[in-house]
Structure 1
């Protein structure tokens, strides 16, 4: 189940007594958690019916006793086990058997939510959870869902954003290109943007450019453009700019390899006759990113990109082994990919 399916089931009042929240977008899980608190716990009595475990050395007997406790003047009692409680680290057989026994027959008036971002599917605990509980995987949003999320947030703030400005915001946020970028970060940027707009109804291009200055990931595109087109002096100037901004040679090199890998994948899909929109869907990227990658690499054969990847892998190994200076390796890489 994903977050949209969970949201639909909650609206239909199809609740599970146990939820296992996994995946990288735990922020969305926290939002769904707030929805449950708002709909299932009696107003004003939340402190009496909500228990959260977040510290290490979790007392399993206390947890189970709380789960069995009836709610006070409320439809439900909620018990939340954060990742920090390290429920997955429990090895005591008695505790594990106790949890398994509860999961076999959970208290119907209790909603138990367990956060486990990267569950070990081999563990008995995981098997017990998915046997009787509901697994919810909060993956990173794709381009379509991201647009819908941002539009909804802007509308809720009584603001408007045009299609071109929406695309610019997504591009500047780098959410679809940076695996470490989360929706919590995107929401924080949106809040800053909305606050900056103030009493104005419409969010402008100038607002976005000010609140979300160019990131290194976006600058990497220009660096590749310069290197590929033979503008070596410009490429080296941009590289020095990254250094002045505090970026390390190895960090820039890793981002370069990542972008070239994406370019290679886009070229492979395109060579199979897939249109840009389909490629974007397959790679879970925004269409403008695919178009940008195609434009960057239109004069670059797939074989050449493979050679660049092999060169990059070789230099990467040499850098990690200390066989070559990082600065020199990166400059050498830029000289050879044009």
Structure 2
């Protein structure tokens, strides 16, 4: 994040790099950075014709480079945003577009002083094996936008509220993450709503979060598993019925329950091998917050019981999909057995 802050400072100072490669899973922050570039580098009256957008899924890279090398008309600088999911990442390229990568490599050696290229990649990591990735790392500004976690995430929520002259208590920020998840886009909207509710100079408490913020489906599943772990069956069933009211399919609910129990088992097994929370998150490809929740829940189950629960869920999945049991009844019986 420090690299992003340094890059943002340079942009505010009117000294952008010639080429950027932005990547990561946090779309909200990446968009904020892109918006900062537009606001700071291009006058509002010029934005309609000084900003271009391309996608490598339907535009060859040499066409983008041609645009970059074309002198802008009546403006001192132009921004060129390029969405990409194939040039810098691993995986099969299903696009029919052929890219002459040497055009980009050559451009990096001598970029146009009047153009700023910004490649935007939605993905956790770049393919370090690719020559172009290595070249970009040495000749362009490469910035990672990973998911915020732990205290950094809570701090982000607190600062966003402060920018609207509202104080959000730390416990309330924790409760917000617990109910809304870790997506900054979702959290941003929820913080705005809470600040409007509290009013300028107001304070947001846990009770306000509970009153104003509905749990999303994934958070409801976390909560349901927590109630199961605490043997609070009536509460688990209440959450289940609430999900049904929200038109969630029983098979989807069952699949999410199975996913959470599978994660709990995996976290428990890795923790027993002395993996840290961060190592577990990296190994399983999960957000650290999800690992933290699973770690806390894993303490309430023996590994053998978790395996048995997953076995029962696999059997229930088969029965529900073959029509051997009513879907709602099947899940109700499963929850009743867990609480027995």
- Measured against aligned partners, the alpha-carbon deviations of 1:178-211 in whole angstroms (never above 9, x if no partner) come to xxxx311211112222222233432233432232
Contact 2:18–2:117 (CA<8 Å) still a contact in 1?
A: yes
Aligned to 2:178: 171
Q: Which runs of 5+ in 2 are unaligned?
A: 282-286
Aligned to 1:178: none
The DSSP-based 3-state class of the residue aligned with 1:82 is strand
Report deviation, 1:79.
Answer: 0.9
Aligned to 1:255: 256
Match of 1:92 among 98, 120, 142: 98
- Measured against aligned partners, the alpha-carbon deviations of 1:17-70 in whole angstroms (never above 9, x if no partner) come to 222222222221111112223333356544453223369743756532321134
Name the CA shift for 1:103/1:231 in 2 (closer, same or farther; >3 Å).
same
Aligned to 1:112: 117
Report deviation, 1:113.
Answer: 0.7
Contact 1:261–1:309 (CA<8 Å) still a contact in 2?
A: yes
Contact 1:53–1:85 (CA<8 Å) still a contact in 2?
A: no
Aligned to 1:190: 191
Q: Distance in 2 between matches of 1:107 and 1:167?
A: 47
- Measured against aligned partners, the alpha-carbon deviations of 1:120-168 in whole angstroms (never above 9, x if no partner) come to 8477866765564333332222122211211221121122112222222
Name the CA shift for 1:251/1:74 in 2 (closer, same or farther; >3 Å).
same
Name the CA shift for 1:300/1:195 in 2 (closer, same or farther; >3 Å).
same
Aligned to 1:102: 107
Contact 2:154–2:170 (CA<8 Å) still a contact in 1?
A: no
Aligned pairs for 1:30-45 (under 5 A) are 30-42=31-43, 44-45=45-46
Aligned to 1:146: 153
Return the TM-score normalized by structure 1.
Answer: 0.75
Contact 1:280–1:290 (CA<8 Å) still a contact in 2?
A: no
The DSSP-based 3-state class of the residue aligned with 1:116 is strand
Q: Please give the root-mean-square deviation of Cα atoms over the aligned residues, in Å.
A: 4.0
- Measured against aligned partners, the alpha-carbon deviations of 1:235-259 in whole angstroms (never above 9, x if no partner) come to 4454333222311111211221233
Contact 1:40–1:74 (CA<8 Å) still a contact in 2?
A: no
Q: Distance in 2 between matches of 1:159 and 1:205?
A: 14
The number of aligned residues is: 324
Stretch moving more, 220-229 or 146-155: 220-229
Report deviation, 1:311.
Answer: 3.5
Report deviation, 1:225.
Answer: 4.5
Report deviation, 1:232.
Answer: 4.9
Name the CA shift for 1:193/1:228 in 2 (closer, same or farther; >3 Å).
closer
Aligned to 2:284: none
Q: Distance in 2 between matches of 1:55 and 1:282?
A: 34
Stretch moving more, 204-213 or 19-28: 204-213
Aligned pairs for 1:1-338 (under 5 A) are 3-11=1-9, 15-42=16-43, 44-53=45-54, 57-58=58-59, 62-70=63-71, 76-82=77-83, 89=95, 91-92=97-98, 95-118=100-123, 121=127, 129=136, 132-175=139-182, 182-228=183-229, 232=233, 235-236=236-237, 238-268=239-269, 271=272, 279=277, 283=281, 284-286=287-289, 290=292, 294=296, 296-316=297-317, 319=320, 326-338=327-339
Stretch moving more, 327-336 or 23-32: 327-336
The DSSP-based 3-state class of the residue aligned with 2:209 is helix
Q: Distance in 1 between matches of 2:234 and 2:136?
A: 57
Name the CA shift for 1:227/1:50 in 2 (closer, same or farther; >3 Å).
closer
Contact 1:42–1:74 (CA<8 Å) still a contact in 2?
A: no
